[in-house]
Amino acid sequence: MNMIQLFYIGTDNHIYTRWRTPGGTWTEETELYGIPKGRVAVATIPGTEIPQFFYRGTDDGIYSRWRNPNGSWSGEQRLQGRLNGNPIAAQVPGSNILQLFYRGSDNSVYSQWRNPDGSWSAEQKVGGVLNGDPIAAQVPGTQILQLFYRGTDNAIYTHWRKADGSWSAEQKVGGVLSGDPIAAQVPGTNILQLFYRGTDNGLYTRWRNPGPFGTWSGEAKMGGVLSGDPIAAQVPGTDILQLFYRGADNAIYTRWRSPGPDGTFSGQQRLGGILDGDPIAVQVPATQILQLFYRGTDNNIYSIWRNPDGTWSNEQQGGEQQIGGTLSSDPVVAEIPAPGPARFTVVLMLWGPPQPPNQTKWLSTLTGADLNRALTAIAGSTYFNRLAQYDVEQVSIWPSFPPQLSNPPWPPGNNQYTTLFNSTTDIINVITANFSSGIPSPDTFSDTIPIYIVITPRGSYATNDPTSGGDHQTSVWGPSNLIYLFAYVGAQGNLNQTLVSATHEIVEAMGKFGSAPKELCDDCNSNYPPGSVSPGIDSYTVESYFDAQANQCVAPPGFAQPA
């Protein structure tokens, strides 16, 4: 099954993602890290179901991550080359080779490609002098991959890849552009058509005629007043090619091409919205729906979609759909294979000795051994089973009893709190500082995704999250920036009270990393307050979580319903 996945850059310049579930809801936002200097390019590795994205780093190098079959994301990989723009990725026709193209520091087109065995070629210079980012398209009816770009005189230029892998000389196609061109196959034909914004901000086009010599038409002006680059998409289930662009009033406008080799374009239609960038379009998998996404003036992602009968969602449902996020660039959308069910391993850590300096006790009867035994019993029960709907296959507990960690020492407390800590920096330091003393590091997990749970002392205070007794997040570790999950859980008075908080953070961490459309436990607290779920496994108490299939909060099978 395929799904729609969005990738975008947040205001902290990290990469974020969320995806559309089969039911049409959107998952929680997940942070993928990396610090791009521009937008990301996304492609599925040919011959696999592995999506991979590429981006320009702050040092102008090419960086990449990919999603592993178990649903986790790889560490960051740096490829050869230095960029002066955004990369693009395209499959070499008739092969399982994924090829990257980009503008280099000397403004020429450069390329490198991923071989089927996963290795990368040396960098190859294709040529040209660019004034924008290149695009790539397969010439319809051939095995030719063709590049297009804007030159220093603002005309369109092209190179194409021959069957033997060599590249043609540069050819000038023409036009005078004020943005990057786009290329699309005219559905039901072997015509490749280019669209671009001219210096008068009007929409222009020219097309490649079918045949071995690939002659180009003259330039045709289509009209409109654009404030960005156009995009083109095939209307699902038809041979209609539809264009979308941001107009002078920042709304979305569209026009479409009637089917056939001699098709004509419609007049302009205003679709609405208020954009702060260019729109993107994709077909919703297994439907006849075409969906648009764009950044609004509040930097959130918004969407409208075309129904199979030709109507638009905002005409019938009162406006745009707000998806969320806070973006610093345009989003990127891709139809990619859904991840397989993931396996998780919970690694428990107790931070601080029972009697640290200046304290007489932990203020809790909790012990690491009891916590480990309880969570192992819960993981072996039916408690986590309903998480299968969120792509969770298995949850296990690291077999070693959690050590009492005194490195790094607790930050100082005061006359009210045992210790005052930061829920990110201090907790991350606890985890990473102990990789050399028995705590398994993220690179030791190959088939499961680690979740590090740090139990903080009772009476402690998370200075940057004062309303929470626990929190889950992601971070990166090591030279390749491996992504891992972590959480802190404030110790409560006894084991069962602490188990409620611990199961809450474990469930939500897995749900956010998977396909959960919401924080799985937070909304359930008003119905089933913490501690209200009756004991069900060796008298252990757990948190309730949201069951999307039943559309209610439940204590999963094997546990008594709350009173």
pLDDT mean by block of 10 residues, the chain; 563 residues: 92 94 88 92 94 96 92 92 96 96 98 95 96 96 95 97 90 96 96 97 95 86 96 97 97 95 93 95 95 97 95 82 94 90 95 72 86 94 90 94 86 90 96 92 93 94 89 94 95 92 95 89 78 72 86 66 44
CA distance 533 to 162: 66
The reply to whether 46 falls in a domain is no
Tokens 């077999």, located at residue: 399
Q: Which two tokens stand for residue 156?
A: 């369109």
The reply to whether 364 falls in a domain is yes
Helices (H), 62-123: none
The reply to whether 511 falls in a domain is yes
What distances in angstroms separate CA 59 from CA 56, 65, 105, 480, one per listed residue?
8, 17, 12, 15
Say if residues 532 and 510 touch (Cβ distance below 8 Å).
no
Q: Which two tokens stand for residue 541?
A: 């108490």
Say if residues 233 and 244 touch (Cβ distance below 8 Å).
yes
Q: What local confidence, expressed as pLDDT, does residue 36 receive? A: 94
Give residue 112's identity as a one-letter amino acid code: Q
The reply to whether 148 falls in a domain is no
The reply to whether 520 falls in a domain is yes
Domain containing residue 440: 342-554
Sign of torsion, CA 83 87 93 97?
positive
The reply to whether 408 falls in a domain is yes
3-state helix, strand, coil in the chain (%, to 5): 10, 40, 50
pTM over 0.75: yes
Specify which residues 552 forms β-bridges with: 547
What distances in angstroms separate CA 1 from CA 85, 286, 355, one per listed residue?
33, 9, 53
Q: What local confidence, expressed as pLDDT, does residue 231 receive? A: 98
CA distance 549 to 563: 22
Q: What local confidence, expressed as pLDDT, does residue 213 receive? A: 72
CA distance 418 to 412: 8
Number of domains the chain is built from: 1
Give residue 267's identity as a one-letter amino acid code: G
Q: What local confidence, expressed as pLDDT, does residue 558 receive? A: 53
Q: What local confidence, expressed as pLDDT, does residue 563 receive? A: 36
